[in-house]
Amino acid sequence: MSGGARRGRGAVSNQAGRFESIRHAAIDDGWDSADELPPLRTRVTVDRSRSIIARNSSPDVPFDQSVNPYRGCEHGCVYCFARPTHAYLGLSAGLDFESRLFVKPDAARLLRDALRRPGYRCRVLALGTNTDPYQPIERRYRVMRQILELLAECSHPVSITTKSGLVERDIDLLAEMARCNLAQVSVSLTTLDRDLARRLEPRAAAPHRRLETIRRLSEAGIPVNVSVAPIIPLLTDPELETVLDAAVSAGAGSASYILLRLPLEVRELFEEWLADHYPLKAGHVMSLIRQCRGGRENDSTFGRRKRGAGPVAQLIRQRFQRARRHAGLDAAPPELDAGRFAAPAAAGQLMLL
């Protein structure tokens, strides 16, 4: 374990959020201590949000409404583009994001109220678009289970993105919904290298475990997309073809990818992580990222933020397209059926038989 990292955590530091007036800086005290830093415990706080559906109009994503049961994510993926959202809570995008979590225990009730409104128009509801809905604390709080029970009750289509094997717990609900063309799952698979995954995504499922999840979902009749996300130049892009071959062997039916994004605080966190874990590659990796982002570390322009631009990004795009065709993963994910939706009953209301 390298000097600045904590076991089981992704970020190396816990710098103040961008809205804070106080900044902290690490200094060398001259003792050159090689002692491992103590474990950082996870703290969970109840989030009393009064609304639950987030809406967007981005042309880069295939959905316009989503639900996020949790804020922050214990998986600790250092590259997570959602990290900067913790700044709105007065917290750090670094270690705070993966250790100070917020749960929405009323999510299913709030969603039921939203789905019952007269003006609600049924469209695919995306889960896992910001933080993973199946992160470890879901075992205790079961917010996703409650949401899926509600969506199954009213025949509402759902698309889930996760890198956790915990989604297998809900195969009973998802398989029944999939039989009516109401559910699909996208499993994020960044690398097959266990050591790299342990450093990059310390509390997410191991690569072989995600392949097993793809297999079990597929065997249950649930459409599975493999999301090679993010592709990191030099670190993970050499595995692109191997990842897709492994995914199709496990039962995936389609594939997608996202090039690494480094918005706001994520840029500095990722550079710290590189310097700590892969110091000899750090400069080369960042150079390739800049070549994909018009000379900058990040480009948030619609149409380019997920794929990048320039020769390096174009080469990755061509390799992905070729590998996807070779693996037989170039079919589009199924278009889920929104026509079956029936508004749910009020909470506690008895159903007429």
Please name the residues in contact with 51: beta carbons below 8 A apart, sequence gap of 6 or more. Answer: 110, 114
Please tell me the least confidently modeled range out of 58-67, 97-106, 149-158, 197-206.
Answer: 58-67
CB 244 within 8 A of CB 237: no
Q: What is the mean pLDDT of residues 2-8?
A: 66
Could you tell me which of 97, 105, 157, 95 has the C-alpha nearest to residue 132? 97
User: What is residue 3's predicted lDDT score, i.e. its pLDDT?
Assistant: 45
* Confidence band of 45 (pLDDT split at 50, 70, 90): very high
In angstroms, rounded to a whole number, what is the distance separating the alpha carbons of residues 146 and 108?
Answer: 6
Q: How large is the average pLDDT for residues 17-30?
A: 60
Rounded Cα distance, 299 and 133, in Å? 27
Q: Which of 2-11, 234-243, 268-277 has the least mean pLDDT?
A: 2-11
Q: pLDDT-derived band of residue 318, with 50, 70 and 90 as boundaries? A: very high
Backbone angles phi, psi at 187, to 5 degrees: -100, 120
The counts of H helices and E strands in the chain are 11, 10
* pLDDT (mean) for 165-194: 98
Point out which residues pair with 259 in neighbouring strands: 231
pLDDT 10s digits, 73-109: 999 999 999 999 999 999 999 999 999 999 999 999 9
Residues 6+ apart with CB under 8 A from 15: 23, 24, 92, 93, 94, 265, 268, 269
The partner residues of 45 in beta bridges, in order of sequence, read 102
Return the pLDDT at 204: 97
* pLDDT single digits (tens) 211-232: 999 999 999 999 999 999 999 9
Q: Binning pLDDT at 50, 70 and 90, where does residue 262 land?
A: very high
Contacts of 203 (CB under 8 A, 6+ apart): 8, 74, 75, 76, 98, 135, 136
Task: Take residue 214 and report the two structure tokens written for it.
Answer: 């793809």
Place of tokens 């026509």: 339
For 37-96, what is the HEC assignment? CCCCCCEEEECCCCCCEEECCCCCCCCCEEECCEECCCCCCCCCCCHHHHHHHCCCCCHH
Higher pLDDT, 188 or 24: 188
Eight-class DSSP state of 169? G
For residue 347, what is the DSSP state?
A: T
Look at residues 330, 77, 45 and name the one whose alpha carbon lies nearest to residue 201: 77
Domain residue spans of the chain? 43-327
Q: Are 329 and 252 in contact (CB under 8 A)?
A: yes
Q: Mean pLDDT throughout 133-141?
A: 97
- Residues 284-291, mean pLDDT to the nearest whole number: 98
Q: Is the pLDDT of residue 353 over 50?
A: no
The answer, yes or no, to whether residue 191 has pLDDT greater than 80, is yes
Contact 158, 313 (CB under 8 A): no
Does the pLDDT value for residue 32 go beyond 60? Answer: no
Residues 241-256 have a mean pLDDT of 98
43-327 maps to which CATH number?
3.80.30.30
